[in-house]
Amino acid sequence: MRSVHHYISGKSVEGQSGRFGDIYNPNTGDVQAKVDLASDAEVDKAVEAAKAALPEWAATNPQRRARILFKFKDLLEQNIDELAELLSSEHGKVVADSKGDVQRGIDVVEFACGIPHLQKGEYTEGAGPGIDVYSMRQPLGVCAGITPFNFPAMIPCWMFAVSIACGNTFVLKPSEKDPSVPVRLAELFMEAGAPEGVLNVVHGDKTAVDAILKHPDIKAVSFVGSSDIAQYVYSTGTAHGKRVQAMGGAKNHGIIMPDANMDQAVKDIVGAAYGSAGERCMALPVAVTVGKDTGDEFVERMLEAAQNLKVGVSTDKDAHYGPVVSAAHKAKIEEYIQLGVDEGADLKLDGRGHSLQGHENGFFVGPSLFDNVKAGMKSYTDEIFGPVLQVVRAETLEEAAALPSKHQYGNGVAIFTSNGRAAREFAAQVNVGMVGVNVPIPVPVSYHTFGGWKRSAFGDTNQHGPEGIRFWTKIKTVTQRWPEGDIGDQAFVIPTMQ
């Protein structure tokens, strides 16, 4: 059986802990490989490799770092088919979605290629008599990223591409559920010309996470995952003196106004709610309809659209989405569907018990649709993270906008309308970090920043974009004067009120 090992100092390193995790094929339910689970000592080994590589890499000028990133981007593009197929085999999402996963990672690498400009500081000439002031952005040191199963290409690139571009070295701890693509990314990064030890990959569970969070030589940690774990990562990492950004869960809402283009809204939301089996923190699992007629039409048309979705194996080019990542996650989603029924929501389409001929043990969940969901229901307040769309009905825009604003999560929100003024006011006032106007999944492009509010994010800076540069660097400000000749009695002092 295939084994997935750690990747340290530019080579595959077999685990020594004696602990392993199973890597499933979600299409069949079979174990297809084993992954090493790191001990504290193995995390130490990866950190030591990153620490040894740091001085030379931090001293490498930004243009040379950018050239390696350009080559890495080129290699990702050349190998996108291989990466997507490998990703689908472990995650379960269809290959088209996997290519999108890789492409969004490439976009961030492309942004990081601009590091010679992005890392520039500021300069003021003549701040005082003969005095100039300038700032510089310098790397933090050894940094780390802890990434989830749902985007095993994109999210690692969010983290290590920007961090390494800034002159840091990196230890990546990807999800143990689908670890092969992150290892392949590290191999391609080495092929692009990165020095040994600049990017290291260790696999593991909570043991590895805690070792990273408490390691004295790791200066910053980035995390994406569930909110409870994000809060734990943030509190533990900061308690050990680290800079931490921790992105958590979501319950994104799409508000459908009476003047919305219903054809477009249904088409967009069916993809946003059910695409990638709903395993996206920027999925749209809640539709809020404004007015009875809007709600009736939307539910009728969405039911028809959802019933026509094809659930298939990840290699099926005609499938709209594939299996979820694990048997445990499938069971969790189906428990939430039952909870919604128990709470009194109207189940219009039940995706439980879905199976495919020849793949009866695969982790498939059919599309589910609820109507008349209420804000007090636990199935509404919790993140389901599956192919389940819940419809909440509202009478006014104010009532609809209050739902995402008051929800515990604040990752993304969308409004579907033809009214520019309503959209503008909604975008300005809604208490959510990322807003879409007639855009169902408002994930920012790579040169803007990604991040939610409330329990969707812990920490003060967002992922990638300009915020990413700020997170992965520390600023130093220099005040300088070059006296000429005899300085006499002149002295530089801090200004006073005298």
Asked if 206 contacts 119 with a C-beta cutoff of 8 angstroms, the reply is no
Interatomic CA distance for residues 146 and 313, integer angstroms: 28
The domain locations on the chain are 2-248+456-478, 253-437
Burial class (CB in 10 A: 0-12, 13-18, 19+), 129: exposed
* Residue found under tokens 């734990």: 232
CATH of domain 2-248+456-478: 3.40.605.10
Q: How many helices (H) and strands (E) does the chain have?
A: 16, 23
The SS3 call for residue 11 is strand
Task: Give the dihedral sign, CA 26/32/37/43.
Answer: negative
Q: Decide whether 2-248+456-478 matches 253-437 in CATH topology.
A: no
- CA separation, residue 197 to residues 172, 201, 272 (Å): 12, 10, 39
Is residue 23 scored above 60 in pLDDT? yes
Neighbours of 372 (CB within 10 A): 15
The SS3 call for residue 362 is coil
Query: Which residues touch 401 (CB under 8 Å, ≥6 apart)?
Result: 255, 426, 429, 430
Q: What pairing do the DSSP bridges indicate for beta strands 142-146 and 218-224? A: parallel
Output the pLDDT for position 1. 86
Asked if 221 contacts 237 with a C-beta cutoff of 8 angstroms, the reply is yes
Interatomic CA distance for residues 120 and 344, integer angstroms: 57
Is 281 among the residues known to form the active site?
A: yes
Catalytic residue among 113, 143, 166, 281: 281
Q: pTM of this prediction?
A: 0.94
Task: Identify the band that residue 497 occupies on the pLDDT scale cut at 50, 70 and 90.
Answer: low
Burial 292-308 (b: 16+ CB within 10 A, else e): eebbebbbebbbebbee
Q: Which superfamily does 253-437 belong to? A: Aldehyde Dehydrogenase; Chain A, domain 2 (3.40.309.10)
Pull the structure tokens for residue 312: 């298939």
Interatomic CA distance for residues 170 and 187, integer angstroms: 14
Of residues 470, 425, 430, 431, the one with CA closest to residue 449: 470
Query: Phi and psi for 474 in degrees, rounded to 5?
Result: -120, 145
**Helices marked H in 240-355 — which ranges?**
262-274, 292-307, 327-342
Is residue 495 scored above 70 in pLDDT? no
% of the chain beyond a pLDDT of 90: 95
pLDDT in tens, 236-286: 999 999 999 999 999 999 999 999 999 999 999 999 999 999 999 999 999
pLDDT in tens, 295-350: 999 999 999 999 999 999 999 999 999 999 999 999 999 999 999 999 999 999 99
Output the pLDDT for position 493. 60
173's enclosing H/E stretch is strand 169-173
Compute the mean pLDDT over every residue in the chain, rounded to the nearest whole number: 96
Output the pLDDT for position 484. 76
Interatomic CA distance for residues 102 and 182, integer angstroms: 11
